[in-house]
Structure 1
C-alpha cells in the first residue's frame, strides 16, 4: 500500500513539473488605437524632427501621410482573406507614397530619409528574426528554465 501511495505521489509531482507554465515570458505591450489623423500627425512630426522640414513641406507631407493612413485604416478593417489578396496593392501604395514624399524633399533631406529608411528596415529585420521560433539552421529554441544537476 505504501508503495502505491509513493508511486502516485511521485507521478503527481512529475506531471506537475512537466506541465508548469513558463513565467519568464513578458506579456505583449498593447499598441494604442490611433485614428488616421493621429497616425499622420505622428509620422509627420517624426519626419519633421529627423529632416528639418519647412512649414510648406510639413503641410504637404501631412497630406500624403493622411491619405496613406486612411487607406491603411480601411485595409485593416477588411476581412482577413481580403487582406492577403491586397498585399500587392498595399506595396504599390507604399511605393507611391515614398515617391510623393521624395518629390517634396530636398536632395539633402532625401539622403537623410534613405538612411532613415535603411535603419528602419534593419531594425524590422532584427525584430522579425527575434520573433521566429528557433534558428532555421536546425537548432531548436533554447529552454530558459533547464533543471540543474547536483
Structure 2
C-alpha cells in the first residue's frame, strides 16, 4: 500500500513538472527590423499584388511609401515623451500620404484599397479587444449585499 501511494505521489509530481514547463505557448517571434526602403518595397509589393498597379503607378506608389516610411522611422527614433505631442502632426502626414496615394490610383483601385483598409482596421480592433481577456472578465459576486435604507 505504501509503495502504491509513493508511486502515485511521484507520478503526480512528475506530471505537474512536465506540464508546468510549457513555454511554447507564449513564445513571441522576433520581428525583423526593416529599413524604410524595405518597408516601402513591401507595401508597394502588396499594393501591386492586390490592386494590379501599372509600372508607372508602382513607381509613384513606391515614392509615396518611401517618404511615409522615412517619416515614420524618424518619429520612432524620437524621444518617447515628445511623441504624444506630435500625434496631430503624424496624423496630418498620414492623411497627406493617403491623399497622394488616392491621386495615383484609379476609382476601382481606390475602392479595393478602402475595402482592404477597413478589413485591416476591423481585424486590428478584434485583436485589441481580445488582449485583456481573463484579467477582468466579470464583476466580483457578492453573496450578501448590504441592506439599503
TM-score range, shorter chain: 0.7 to 0.9
Write out aligned runs for 1:102-141 (5 A): 102-134=102-134, 138=138
**Could you report, residue by residue, the CA deviation over 1:61-104 in whole angstroms, capped at 9, with x for unpaired residues?**
00000000000111111111011211111111111111111110
Measured on the aligned residues, the alpha-carbon RMSD in Å equals: 2.4
CA distance in 2, matches of 1:24, 1:70: 35
CA distance in 1, matches of 2:132, 2:81: 23
CA distance in 2, matches of 1:35, 1:25: 30
Write out the 4+ residue segments of structure 1 that deviate beyond 6 Å after TM superposition: none
Q: 1:92 to 1:132 in 2, by over 3 A?
A: farther
Write out aligned runs for 1:37-56 (5 A): 37-56=37-56
CA distance in 1, matches of 2:45, 2:139: 43
SS in 2 for 1:32: coil
* Shift of residue 133, structure 1, vs aligned partner: 4.3
CA distance in 2, matches of 1:74, 1:125: 26
1:71 aligns with 2:48: no
* Shift of residue 107, structure 1, vs aligned partner: 0.5
Q: 1:139 to 1:56 in 2, by over 3 A?
A: farther
Q: Could you state the TM-score of these two structures normalised by the residue count of structure 2?
A: 0.73
- Specify the alignment match of 1:62 in structure 2: 62
Q: Could you state the TM-score of these two structures normalised by the residue count of structure 1?
A: 0.73
SS in 2 for 1:72: helix
Gaps of 5+ in 1: 1-19, 141-150
Q: 1:40 to 1:135 in 2, by over 3 A?
A: same
Gaps of 5+ in 2: 1-19, 141-149
Q: Paired residues, what number?
A: 123
* Shift of residue 38, structure 1, vs aligned partner: 0.2
- Specify the alignment match of 1:87 in structure 2: 87
